[in-house]
């Protein structure tokens, strides 16, 4: 009997989770609108946003650069033998550009940022819950959503777009390095191919995805952080769940977006 | 009696709170009069911290109402709740300082959030509050650099930053050595006199309770079992009050624990 109930319980928990997360997103949106028009608390808001942007984005740039550089290089090395059979080695830059700008730049940057920002946001907010800091905020009539969630979501969204741009460029650099050094494609030729094949649309769809990924990472991390119960162990569980759930959510969302762009012929 | 009720800063009216089917507070009635320091006593799990979180509006009751500063907490709109919370101060058990901010920034936070005061004025106000709790020279320290007692004092400075009319303390002397604990108690008494606030203190530390209380109530299993001045409580012949106040190992509290079906549990029989 218990075994039969398990899927139902899982379904209920899933609905509850998505409902709670959706509610937090809605609350964040309302609080963001209020924060923009608020007269008070602005000085703190900007300072806080700036700090979060540095923490979330700036520190992750070296890692994202390294990872995307390697991915660009790997793509070039993987594709070259097959393409050579058809005499199409010169199309390596074209394939890398589309793959990186539309897909891998935003997605891989988002996965790196999940480890960087998502985990640390969940752990930070979870520790604040354990230390009664959230209750203290409420007792001081300061909304935890406006004070903690909004700056983190806005900062992660903005920085995710910036990091994706850096990632795109580094992916190109990785492909370029291998093409020039190993495949014998001149770097001017590589850049011309990249420039010719890429449409503004490829770049923009990648950045739209990046922005959505950014808000996904931070809102899930904040939500799981705020739900922490049970002290230090709870913080650990929330951090792990944040990373796992976010990566699943990122890839699922990516599929949805790619399907939608495909259907619209973008 | 009517006259006394008119001066009540907080009225708890038949409040019930249920967690997972367990009644934590059972139709509680309590008046906190203006300017007094009321101590709510009770053992672990007696419901005293729940009552405190209801009074500060962090939780909602499942029945009854709380009227604080003349307004019903249940019927408050979000904006009214914000205004209510601005007129109260809360000292949490751990101090609940924001660990990412210095002591001065912690105290300044409510001022920055809720007033239009210029930074220079806020600086001065922060210094005044920190001086009141004896922490002015530690203003720039981070919470991690403070001892337990200093954290509580800093938490208290933050609680009084908006000059509240009601102050709530959750276990103010828990986890402190006797001297620091006595210092915090003295601080509570001084603040009450200097600021003229109404204070509600939740504690199970008897020494501390007797030092600060104008009036005390004892909460047990979600109900009040006794109330009175410290002298009246000391003289009480209620067995439960006597056991709690004197920390006796024999009495109704321990009898209850012993009658927990130990034999049945050992024999594997359902009670």
Q: Is residue B2 pLDDT above 60, yes or no?
A: no
**Per-residue pLDDT at A42:** 56
pLDDT tens-digit series, residues B160-170: 999 899 999 99
Q: What is the pLDDT of residues B140-152, one digit of tens each?
A: 999 999 988 889 8
Residue A45 has pLDDT above 90, yes or no: no
What whole-number percentage of chain A has pLDDT above 90? 59
Question: Could you tell me which residues come within 8 angstroms of residue A230 by beta carbon, excluding any fewer than 6 positions away?
Answer: A237
Q: What angle do CA A195, A197, A199 make, to 5 degrees?
A: 85
Please, what is the angle between helix B178-195 and helix B148-159, to 10°?
A: 10
**Facing B114 at nearest CB: one of A131, A139, A141:** A141
B18-34 per-position pLDDT tens digit: 888 888 888 888 899 98
B4 to chain A nearest CA, in Å? 28
In tens, the pLDDT along B50-96 reads 899 899 988 888 888 999 888 888 888 888 999 999 999 999 988 88
Q: Extract the tokens encoding B66.
A: 């709380």
A42-57 average pLDDT score: 79
pLDDT in tens, A53-101: 988 888 889 999 999 999 999 999 999 989 989 888 888 999 999 999 9
The reported pLDDT for the residue numbered B4 is 46
Long-range contacts of residues A73-81, Cβ cutoff 8 Å, at least 24 apart: A73/A174, A73/A175, A73/A177, A73/A178, A74/A174, A75/A99, A75/A100, A75/A104, A75/A171, A75/A174, A75/A175, A76/A174, A76/A175, A76/A178, A76/A179, A76/A182, A76/A183, A77/A178, A77/A182, A80/A182, A80/A183
Nearest to A139 among B58, B83, B115 (CB): B58
With an 8 Å Cβ cutoff, is A2 touching chain B? no
pLDDT at B271 over 50: no
Domain region containing A141: 2-263
Ranked by mean pLDDT, the top range of A156-170, B2-16, B253-267 is A156-170
| A149 pLDDT higher than 80 | yes
> How would residue B3 be classed by pLDDT, with cut points 50, 70 and 90?
very low
Write the residue in A131, A136, A142 that is nearest to B113 by C-beta.
Answer: A142
Distance from C-alpha of B180 to C-alpha of A241, rounded to nearest angstrom? 41
Count of domains forming chain A? 1
pLDDT at B1 over 50: no
Mean pLDDT value across residues B182-202? 88
pLDDT tens digits for B211-264? 899 999 988 888 888 888 888 888 888 888 888 887 777 777 777 766 666 666
Region A200-221 average pLDDT: 92
Instruction: Determine the Cα–Cα distance for residues A198 and B228; give it in Å rounded to an integer.
Output: 81
Ordered strands of the B8-19 beta sheet: B22-33, B8-19, B63-68, B71-72
The predicted model scores a pTM of 0.83
The predicted-structure confidence for A96-145, as pLDDT tens digits, reads as follows 999 999 999 999 999 999 998 999 999 999 999 998 899 999 999 888 99
State residue B40's pLDDT score.
92
HSE-up of residue B83 (Cα within 13 Å, Cβ side): 11
Residue pair B109/B101 in contact (Cβ under 8 Å)? The answer is: yes
Q: What is the pLDDT of residues B209-220, one digit of tens each?
A: 888 999 999 888
The residue-averaged pLDDT of A242-254 equals: 95
User: What pLDDT is recorded for position B6?
Assistant: 44
**Quick check: B14 and B63 in contact, CB under 8 A?**
yes
Cβ–Cβ of A40/B92 closer than 8 Å?
no
Q: Nearest CA to B142 among B184, B177, B98, B178?
A: B98
pLDDT of residue B39: 92
In chain B, what residues touch A40 (CB-CB under 8 Å)?
112-116
Chain B environment of A133 (Cβ under 8 Å)? 96-99
Nearest to A131 among B86, B99, B110 (CB): B99
Taking the C-alpha atoms of residue A245 and residue A224, their distance in angstroms, rounded to an integer, is 10
B contact set with A (CB within 8 A):
53, 56-58, 81-83, 85-86, 88, 90, 92-94, 96-99, 109-110, 112-116, 155, 158, 162
Beta bridge partners of B19: B22
What confidence score (pLDDT) does residue B5 get? Answer: 45
């Amino acid at each position: 009997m218990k075994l039969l109930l398990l899927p139902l319980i899982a379904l209920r928990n899933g609905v509850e989770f998505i409902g709670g997360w959706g509610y937090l997103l809605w609350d964040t949106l309302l609080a963001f609108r209020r924060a923009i028009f608020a007269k008070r608390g602005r000085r703190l808001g900007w300072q806080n946003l700036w700090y979060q942007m540095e923490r979330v984005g700036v520190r992750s740039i070296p890692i994202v650069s390294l990872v995307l550089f390697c991915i660009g290089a790997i793509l070039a090395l993987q594709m070259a033998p097959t393409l050579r059979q058809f005499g199409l080695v010169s199309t390596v830059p074209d394939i890398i550009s589309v793959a990186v700008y539309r897909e891998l730049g935003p997605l891989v940057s988002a996965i790196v940022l999940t480890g960087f920002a998502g985990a640390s946001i969940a752990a930070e907010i979870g520790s604040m819950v354990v230390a009664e800091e959230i209750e203290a905020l409420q007792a001081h009539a300061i909304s935890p959503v406006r004070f903690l969630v909004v700056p983190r979501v806005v900062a992660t969204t903005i920085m995710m777009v910036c990091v994706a741009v850096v990632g795109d460029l580094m992916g190109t650099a990785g492909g370029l390095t291998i093409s020039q050094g190993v495949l014998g494609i001149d770097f001017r030729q590589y850049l011309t191919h990249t420039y010719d094949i890429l449409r503004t649309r490829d770049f923009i769809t990648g950045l739209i995805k990046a922005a959505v990924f950014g808000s996904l990472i931070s809102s899930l991390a904040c939500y799981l952080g705020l739900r922490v119960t049970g002290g230090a162990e709870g913080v650990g569980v929330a951090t792990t769940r944040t990373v796992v759930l976010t990566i699943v959510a990122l890839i699922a969302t990516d599929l949805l977006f790619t399907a939608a762009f495909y259907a619209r012929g973008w | 009696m009517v006259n006394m009720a008119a001066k009540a800063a907080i009225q708890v009216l038949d409040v019930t709170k249920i967690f997972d089917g367990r009644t934590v507070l059972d139709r509680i009635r309590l008046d906190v009069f203006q300017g007094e320091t009321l101590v709510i006593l009770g053992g672990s799990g007696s419901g005293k911290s729940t009552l405190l979180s209801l009074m500060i509006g962090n939780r909602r009751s499942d029945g009854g109402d709380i009227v604080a500063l003349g307004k019903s907490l249940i019927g408050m709109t979000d904006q009214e709740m914000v205004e209510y919370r601005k007129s109260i101060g809360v000292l949490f058990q751990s101090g609940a300082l924001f660990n990412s901010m210095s002591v001065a920034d912690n105290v300044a936070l409510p001022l920055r959030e809720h007033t239009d005061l210029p930074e220079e004025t806020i600086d001065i106000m922060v210094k005044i509050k920190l001086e009141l709790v004896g922490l002015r020279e530690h203003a720039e320290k981070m919470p991690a650099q403070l001892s337990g007692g200093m954290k509580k004092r800093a938490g208290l400075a933050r609680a009084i930053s908006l000059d509240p009319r009601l102050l709530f303390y959750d276990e103010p002397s828990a986890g402190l050595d006797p001297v620091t604990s006595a210092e915090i108690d003295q601080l509570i008494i001084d603040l009450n006199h200097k600021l003229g606030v109404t204070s509600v203190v939740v504690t199970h530390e008897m020494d501390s309770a007797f030092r600060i209380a104008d009036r005390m109530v004892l909460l047990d299993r979600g109900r009040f079992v006794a109330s009175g001045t410290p002298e009246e409580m000391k003289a009480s012949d209620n067995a439960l009050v006597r056991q709690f106040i004197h920390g006796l190992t024999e009495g109704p509290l321990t009898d209850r624990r012993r009658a927990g079906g130990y034999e049945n549990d050992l024999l594997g029989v359902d009670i």
